[in-house]
Amino acid sequence: MIPTLLDGHQNRLFQFVDLLSVANVSCFVFDERLHGYYLHGRSPFAHADCDMLQLNANLNREEQGLVARRGLSSDSNLQTFEVYLSHSMGQVLQEVYTRRMRGVPRVSMSSSEHAVLMQREVANLFRSFVSKDFSTGSLRGHTLEVRPPAGFCERRFAFPPKITPYSTKSIFIEDPHGRFQSVLLKGCEYDLVLLQVLSVSRWQLVRIDLGFRAETINGKNEDGDCDPGRILSGRVTAVLSLNARW
């Protein structure tokens, strides 16, 4: 039963990748400045914008092996990769987003038209990067290596490859097991439950501590009268105690 549940979990993840291929949309997801995941969704069909009848015919042709494979390489069906950018490539992307996504539209162009134009230029940059077209533009001199995990540490523990600060080579590492689920909060359920339990427990300790100090904070003396000096002293003591605990 457990393997069946795990298979269903993985199938739901890769169904999202299948949806990207049907829609002819590729996806970059970055969880850090130089690290992320690439989901290759380039459609193997001539036209992705079609009716359900044509889509069903295309899927049948793909099942019979009459169309190209979906993978990034022509001889592979693998569509998911872990991305490690070089420092220079990270600077190129940062400059592109700073210059183009926050640019000022032309006088004869509305803000929405300008946003569409800038988004198209960013998409063309990513398309050239994935296609290894580094001959012109800001990508000149950069390289891209697509390879499977090398060594035990990369395969088992997902250790990052060695990329020097002056290197211009970015690396795509094949991700057949769906490690991209980490950016979708898949597989983090136990961590989230533990975080919630610890947060609630911490708040309960704070409430108990404040309850024990309520009499001191109220600042009442033996006769039941309020003493301003005791009020100030009790509140300062309580705040310092909470800061020390945190």
Residue pair 169/163 in contact by the 8 Å Cβ criterion: yes
My answer on whether 232 and 161 are in the same domain is: no
State the residue range of the domain holding 71. Answer: 2-86+142-184
Whether residues 154 and 62 fall in one domain: yes
Residue 76 domain flag: yes
Give the phi and the psi of residue 167 in degrees, each rounded to 5: -80, 150
So what's the pLDDT on residue 60? Answer: 92
Q: What is the pLDDT of residue 26?
A: 92
Which among 88, 100, 115, 72 is positioned nearest to 33, based on CA atoms?
88
| 8 Å CB contact between 84 and 36 | no
Q: Are residues 69 and 180 in the same domain?
A: yes
Judgement on whether residues 146 and 173 belong to the same structural domain of the protein:
yes
For residue 233, being part of any structural domain is answered with: yes
Q: Report if residue 102 sits inside a domain.
A: no
In a domain, 12, yes or no: yes
Are residues 235 and 149 part of one domain? no
Q: Which residues of the chain have pLDDT under 50?
A: 1-9, 215, 217, 219, 221, 243-246
Sheet containing 143-147, strands listed edge to edge, beginning at the edge strand earlier in sequence: 27-30, 35-39, 80-84, 169-174, 143-147
Residue 177 lies in a domain: yes
* This model's pTM is above 0.85: no
Whether residue 106 is contained in a domain is answered as no
**Same-domain pairing of 11 and 60:** yes
pLDDT digits (tens, 9 = 90+) for 197-213: 888 877 777 666 555 55
What is the reported pLDDT for 144? 93
Q: Domain for residue 99, yes or no?
A: no
- The predicted structure's pLDDT at residue 213: 52
Residue 208, pLDDT score? 62
Asked if residue 70 belongs to a domain, the reply is: yes
pLDDT at 207: 64
- 3-state SS, residue 37: strand
Q: What's the pLDDT at 86?
A: 93
Q: 3-state SS string over 185-245?
A: CCCCHHHHHHHHHHHHHHHHHHHHHHHHCHHHHHCECCCCCECHHHHHHHHHHHHHHHHHH
Structural domain tally of the chain?
2
- Res 178: pLDDT: 84
